[in-house]
């Protein structure tokens, strides 16, 4: 295990809904007696999978079940999944905040965790005192902590308030200092939950840069949970996908992100529903990849294909036009285009390296220009673009528009 930082073997976590413990002393004693004899938890057999969308028949739920993975030293592992999938529970087990019901964790090195705002901080102590307290918990000497103190305060930008009790900090100041402490006090393993979303865009950019530096230059291991797939894509070597408490996939980050997004591919399809009384109308729209599969996520250097099916009638008299606009996340028009010839089957190709990272949707209609809109579909077929390596990636979460543009720089 010399090159392995973390090894999880058959990790499971069982909870009873609505109560702390098992509800009765007899149940607690039964579980304790089973553990003492090396037997399975007697309540584990009635536990159900962690599906928050459905009402179950049992009060026992597996928040995690049969989780197996390894993280090598110096690896940056992303962990993604929907809300309630079990990501935070897994990090709490890795951080030894709670124990697993089944399985075991092997950890090689000291761990610093940032699981939620205020983790590891004492409310009544000042920022300065909390830095030394956290360093001591990590096993560092006072001299080692002093050598990193100025870097921590500078990174967190809280110098003016460093001798103020942290209970008076804003959530943003709190997380700035907490991240700086975790990142600069040199743990071998750094665990970061979605808490970075509390910080502003500038701080998030600094954090991503620091995590890269920690991994590449210091050779430390980072586990990073986030719903920001762009941040996961640019930071993580590999990614673990968790769904309903189970590990679905661990592997190349782009492949795992595509698998995660394939579960949402239905959002990338529009079909006319109900009784249609119009003789000409938009039958369906589908966003797909180069293989022709429905897709809801694309890398910035991939082509995006939009397949359109129309029903056209000759009774209109005038040949109508088909007009399509792309909308960004704020429903602003990114660009508009018109089919050269309006046919019942159309395929629009958006070239690679045109759209910057972000979320997009479609607004299109069949019309007779300046006269009549025959049929319309607004804000349909959602899809996202991930920046996995453009020249603008170094700017982090900074908003640099919606299109890359075509241009040339020359010296004069």
Q: What is the mean pLDDT of residues 34-46?
A: 63
Average pLDDT rounded to a whole number, residues 172-185: 81
Local confidence band at 410 (pLDDT 50, 70, 90 cut-offs): confident
pLDDT of residue 244: 81
User: Which class for 134: exposed (0-12), middle (13-18), buried (19 or more C-beta within 10 A)?
Assistant: buried
Instruction: Kindly state the average pLDDT of the residues 27-50.
Output: 63
pLDDT at 217 (0 to 100): 78
For residues 84 and 89, what is the distance between their CA atoms, to the nearest angstrom? Answer: 9
- pLDDT at site 361: 92
What's the pLDDT tens digit per position in 312-371? 887 766 788 999 999 988 888 999 999 988 899 999 999 999 999 888 999 999 988 877
Residue 79: what pLDDT?
92
pLDDT at 3 over 70: yes
Q: In what order do the strands lie in the sheet with 189-192?
A: 111-114, 189-192, 221-225, 76-80, 238-243, 246-252
189-218 tens-digit pLDDT? 888 887 666 666 677 777 778 888 877 777
pLDDT (mean) for 102-124: 80
264-295 pLDDT per residue, tens? 666 788 988 766 778 889 999 999 999 998 88
pLDDT reported for residue 323:
93
pLDDT of residue 53: 46
- CA separation, residue 124 to residues 117, 127, 143, 165, 173 (Å): 15, 10, 24, 6, 15
Q: What is the tens place of the pLDDT at every residue in 233-242?
A: 878 889 999 9
């Amino acid at each position: 295990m010399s090159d392995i930082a973390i090894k999880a073997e058959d990790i499971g976590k069982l909870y009873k809904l609505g109560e702390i413990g098992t509800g009765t002393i007899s149940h607690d004693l039964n579980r304790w007696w089973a553990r003492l004899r090396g037997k399975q938890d007697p309540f584990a057999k009635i536990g159900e999978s962690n599906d928050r969308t459905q009402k179950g028949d049992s009060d026992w739920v597996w928040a995690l079940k049969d989780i197996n993975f390894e993280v090598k030293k110096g690896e940056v592992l992303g962990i993604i999944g929907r809300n309630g999938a079990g990501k935070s529970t897994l990090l709490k087990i890795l951080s030894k905040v709670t124990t697993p019901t089944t399985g075991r964790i092997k950890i090689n090195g000291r761990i610093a965790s940032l699981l939620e705002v205020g983790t590891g901080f004492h409310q009544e102590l000042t920022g300065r005192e909390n830095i030394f307290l956290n360093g001591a918990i990590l096993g560092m000497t006072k001299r080692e902590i002093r050598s990193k103190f100025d870097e921590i305060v500078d990174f967190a930008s809280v110098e003016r308030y460093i001798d103020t009790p942290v209970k008076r900090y804003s959530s943003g100041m709190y997380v700035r200092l907490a991240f700086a402490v975790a990142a600069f006090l040199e743990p071998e393993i750094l665990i970061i939950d979605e808490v970075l979303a509390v910080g502003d865009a500038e701080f998030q950019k600094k954090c991503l840069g620091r995590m890269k530096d920690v991994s590449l230059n210091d050779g430390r291991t980072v586990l990073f949970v986030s719903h920001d797939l762009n941040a996961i894509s640019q930071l993580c070597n590999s990614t673990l996908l968790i769904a309903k408490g189970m590990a679905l996939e661990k592997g190349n980050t782009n492949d795992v992100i595509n698998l995660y997004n394939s579960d949402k591919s239905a959002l990338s399809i529009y079909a006319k529903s109900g009784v249609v009384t119009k003789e000409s109308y938009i039958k369906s729209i589908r966003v797909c990849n180069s293989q022709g599969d429905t897709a809801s996520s694309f890398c910035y250097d991939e082509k995006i294909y939009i397949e359109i099916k129309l029903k056209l009638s000759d009774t209109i008299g005038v040949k109508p036009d088909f007009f399509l606009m792309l909308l960004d996340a704020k429903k602003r028009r990114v660009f508009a285009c018109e089919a050269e010839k309006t046919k019942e089957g159309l395929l629009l190709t958006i070239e690679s390296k045109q759209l910057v990272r972000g979320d997009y949707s479609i607004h299109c209609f069949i019309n007779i220009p300046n006269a009549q809109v025959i049929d319309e579909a607004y804000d349909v077929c959602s899809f996202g673009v991930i920046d996995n390596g453009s020249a603008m990636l170094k700017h982090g979460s900074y908003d640099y528009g919606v299109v890359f543009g075509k241009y040339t720089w020359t010296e004069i």
